[in-house]
Structure 1
Amino acid sequence: MAAVESGGISADAVTECTLLELQNRLGHLAFDTLERMADAPGSGVKLTSRVRLNCLTCAQGKQHKVNQYKKDTGQNAPVDEIGGVICSDIKGPMTPRDRHGNRYMINFVDHNSNYVRAFLAKNKVEATKKFEHFLVFFEKEYNCRIQVLRTDGGGEYMNVEDFCRATSVRRQVSEANNQASNGKAERMHRTILNMARCMLFASGLPLKFWGYAVEYAAYVLNRSACSANPRRMSPIEVLTGKCPDMAGIVTFGSPCTVYRDPGKRAWQPRAEVGMIVGKNDETKGFKVYIPKDMVVVATQHIENVETLDSKQNVQLQAQLKREGLELWRSIEEREEAKQQKEKAPKKKKKQVKSKKKKKKAHGTYGVGEDAESDQGSEGAGEQLAPTAASAAPAARMQTRHMGAKHVPVQVVHAVVTPDPRNYREAMRDARADKWKEAIKVEFEALESNNTWEVVARPRNSKLLHTKWVFKTKTHADGTVERYKGRLVPCWT
């Protein structure tokens, strides 16, 4: 009589094989699964060998990425020190270009404090220049040393190698297609862009102002609570040990009045309507867009901020005065320290240079920035405006508030809205009905004045083409008087 297995299967019907042979038969299942199936009663399989060997077919068909941390780590890097690890990433190209023709945003984030600086660039190759700028500023401002620069493997950072070797900064390059290796910098892009979009949409400014919104978003983030820092301290508090003063932060796009030095024009207005579009760590004052002149100026002389009440305006003036005094004292202390270290024969020559530097620092309180200038670095493209000669800037600061005098918001927005440049833009404009009426009035005037006479077209002659010119005429208070349209001949 034939032997019977415990599962009721005859011993003659049991198949004997090795673990590797059974794996081949069952589509390369896991070894643990195969052993459990073979040991089950009534399986009809008896393993003669349980040796497990590495299977090349399993590796080719089933291998996957090794599990990694979901966040940027400080492994093999001194992230516990301020400036120990600086991570960077580039975002772009973005459309439309900003007012200076920039299409890229380059950020630098300190791993320890989560401090961030956002730079604007026209192309990717400017990454090296921006890092040089950031390294000098960050090390001098917060008395630390940058040890590691962590970026992705993009070609835009290839030129950074020479600068890192010259300054003894170690380079770390993240793995390809692995965002976690440089996740802090990449996540910071999303945070900054989200804030900048909200600022732009709420202010009503054109999209070409996104560069100012990005810089101001980074400025606000550095003074805001950060969940990644101990006790949710702000990055500035981690770096300086002092809680940042929030009185100096104003809503992006806030209408205000800006002092403009009339010079010898005694009867010209002493202030103009502007809109606050930013502030950064290297400018002790606000960046204000003046629609009348289509320029951005950096100044502390602002009043009547429409988004603040009377008390908040007074607090803002006091904050600007304190910042001006601190800047002036720091400049004087640096110049005195330089003069003490210099040798006696060179003392006279160096003093002349220090006076020039003081004069230059004094002039930054009335800086003007042309709309078409190149923003190669922070504050580039700005020109010195006329200032009074002798007194320190803080002493000339106006701290009083102008009571109930407020600048209407509609005045600012009316000037900000540009006139159409051609007929096509006029028909697509929100005021298309107004422009159609202006065109009708212009045609009626031309016909009533017998401006032209209809004749047959001469042969072999070049005809002149025409162009529509549109202009919004306003009253002195900024309200619209009428819309004008002119049909003009073009001689070229």
Structure 2
Amino acid sequence: MNCGIGGLNIHLILFLISFILLEVEIDAKQCRESFHSSDNKSEAIFDLIHVDLWGPYRSSSLCNAFYFLMIVDDYSRGVWVYLLHDKAQVGKTLKNYITLISRQFDKKIKMVRSDNGTEFTCLTTEFCAQGIVHQTSYVGTPQRNGRVERKHRHILNVARALLFQASLAIKFWGETILAAAYLINRTPSTMLKRKTPYEILYGSVPPYDNLRVFGCLAFAHNQKRDGDKFCSRSRQCVFLGYPFDKKGWTLYDLDKDELFVSRDIVFVENTFPFQTKEEPGLSLSLLLDDALNEAVEELIEVPDIEQQTKIRDIVPNTIAEATEQDSRVDDLADSSVELASVLT
């Protein structure tokens, strides 16, 4: 009966048949492994940082940037954002950041996690020379570096709200990104037991007395009057954020079309020079409500469970509430496995 196959044992024949059928079934039905949300395994600040590059955007910012590099500390959730003109600046920016952390925090970064972009993989040798482990995600698996992806969404949501609230032109996108990161670092998070990233990093509550309404009218003292006694002593401006290395506020001069930093300012926080609508908070409320629902539905995906969760009736009235809502999205994503066990 089995002469045609060289007298093989019947059990071996059955095994070969089952193996072939199994191979066909795998070939037809194989799916990708699901990504489970990881717990915060870092034991201290800067044990692990996540890095990612966003861009290029279709139009440049005021400082001629088309990209921004985002760095997230895994332990504190602190975020740093750098506006870049092109990808070639990534290497130098990361090296400067590592030096900054070493000098200002007296810490050594132990691990860097990024995608497989050439702007990061070309730094592997540099990282090895400093004893830094470089982890890269697999091709087509951004979930591998999900923490920085969620932080991207968080920052972009807040930045859009800032931009729309003040009715700013798209050329101000870079300044809104920087302002969003500044506010997020000072917003309490349930993931951090109601502390802020700033508090985890610096060991003290951040000061809030310098916060102003983004995009509002501001009058800066005019120091360059060229000896003209009848020259205007004020510059009419728009408030655009908080400079990293200077005391004061970042302003946009409406007449000269330029950015500058000043500390001698009179703010008019209920007036928005670029605004034409009567309801400044309306677009903010609608934006964050839709963004939060979309983010939760996208991030909380549990295999073999048909139920979906959706957050309704959340309408923030302030930027602070908006940033806290997006922090809750980050927290929900990190605890999706726990949510799955509850649903099942």
- The verdict on a shared fold, with TM-score over 0.5 as the criterion, is yes
* Structure 2 partner of 1:237: 199
CA RMSD in angstroms, aligned pairs only: 2.8
1:72-127 deviation per Cα after TM superposition (whole angstroms, max 9, x unaligned) = 764xxxx2111110101111121222122221121000000000011111222221
Q: Which residue of 2 aligns with 1:228?
A: 191
- Segments of structure 1 that go 5 or more residues without pairing to the other structure are 1-16, 29-51, 309-407, 415-492
1:69 to 15, 21, 36: 36
- 2:241 alignment counterpart: 278
Separation in 1, partners of 2:132, 2:226: 49
Deviations 1:299-330 (A, max 9, x none): 11111x1117xxxxxxxxxxxxxxxxxxxxxx
The 1:166/1:259 distance shift into structure 2, 3 A limit, reads farther
**Does 2:113 correspond to 1:182?**
no
Query: Does the 8 Å CA contact 1:88/1:106 hold for their aligned counterparts?
Result: yes
Question: Percent sequence identity over matched residues?
Answer: 23
* Partner SS state of residue 200, structure 1: helix
Pair 1:307-2:266 in alignment: no
Residue 252 (1) aligns with residue 219 (2): no
1:144 aligns with 2:107: yes
Q: What is the TM-score when the length of structure 2 is the normalising length?
A: 0.70
State the alpha-carbon separation in 2 of the partners of residues 140 and 89 from structure 1: 23
8 Å CA contact 1:87, 1:149 repeated in 2: yes
Q: 2-side partners of 1:96 and 1:126: how far apart? A: 18
Rounded to whole Å, the distance in 2 between the matches of 1:178 and 1:206 is 34
- Structure 1: distance between partners of 2:45 and 2:13: 55
Q: Which amino acid aligns with 1:176?
A: V
CA offset digits 1:28-87 (Å, max 9, x no partner): 7xxxxxxxxxxxxxxxxxxxxxxx99943343333333344234764xxxx211111010
- Preserved contact between residue 259 and residue 270 of structure 1 (Cα < 8 Å): yes
How much has 1:226 moved relative to structure 2? 2.0
Contact kept in structure 2, 1:83 and 1:144, CA below 8 Å = yes
**2:63 & 2:167 partners in 1: Cα distance?**
19
Other-structure match for 1:490? none
Match for 2:70 among 90, 95, 107?
Answer: 107
User: What corresponds to 2:251 in structure 1?
Assistant: 288
Equivalent-residue separation in structure 1 for 2:222 and 2:114 (angstroms): 44
Question: 1:110 is matched by which residue type in structure 2?
Answer: D
Instruction: Give the structure 1 partner of residue 56 of structure 2.
Output: 93
Structure 2 counterpart SS, 1:232:
coil
Which residue is 1:59 aligned to?
26
Residue 158 of structure 1 pairs with residue 110 of structure 2: no
Contact kept in structure 2, 1:274 and 1:289, CA below 8 Å: yes
Give the corresponding residue for 2:87.
124
Amino acid at match of 2:187: S
Q: Point out the structure with max Rg over C-alpha.
A: 1
Where does 1:370-409 land on structure 2 (aligned, <5 Å)?
none
Q: How many residues align?
A: 265
Amino acid of the residue matched to residue 214 of structure 2? F
Question: Structure 1 pair 85/291, CA: closer, same or farther in 2 (3 Å)?
Answer: same
Contact in 1 for aligned 2:166/2:274 (Cα 8 Å): no
Q: Which runs of 5+ in 2 are unaligned?
A: 1-9, 276-344
2:133 maps to 170
Task: Give the Cα–Cα distance (whole angstroms) in 2 for the partners of residues 81 and 296 of structure 1.
Answer: 37
Displacement of 1:196 in angstroms is 0.8
CA shift, 1:213, in A, is 0.4
Distance 1:23 1:164 in 2: 49
Q: 2:232: which partner in 1?
A: 269
Q: CA deviation at 1:137?
A: 2.4
In the alignment, the residues of structure 2 paired with residue 260 and residue 137 of structure 1 have an alpha-carbon distance, to the nearest angstrom, of 34
What's the counterpart of residue 133 of structure 1?
96
